[in-house]
Amino acid sequence: QVQLVESGGGLVQPGGSLRLSCAASISIFSFYHMGWYRQAPGKQRELVARINMSAIQNYADFMKGRFTISRDIPKNTIYQQINSLKSEDTAIYYCNGFAPGADYWGKGTLVTVSS
């Protein structure tokens, strides 16, 4: 069974930085693309960023300039570095892996931005 396991969430002050990790139980080349979504309290889940097999990256407009998605192929892991965190970035961040006919999700990691 394919598993995606996120880590790295926690409490951070406004203006701080955080790096989230998502480890896959299979080769990340098994996915057409992998990415990060987030869901804030009372809001719908939204795309934050994703990276495809060719390492092409796409970012949500609200994240441009503050977020970098990357991957470590030997470790089957993707990362997201978020800088200049704001209170509105508080959310559960989910890792996603998409392949034709299959869509996998991690359980999420909570990021709380507060002073």
Looking at residue 20, what is its pLDDT? 97
| Residue pair 65/9 in contact by the 8 Å Cβ criterion | no
Rg of the chain (C-alpha set): 13
Question: Mind listing the pLDDT tens digit for each residue in 10-37?
Answer: 999 999 999 999 999 999 999 999 999 9
Give the chain's mean pLDDT: 94
- Could you tell me whether strands 33-39 and 46-52 are parallel, antiparallel, or unpaired per DSSP bridges? antiparallel
Q: How many CA atoms lie within 13 A of 85 on its CB side?
A: 22
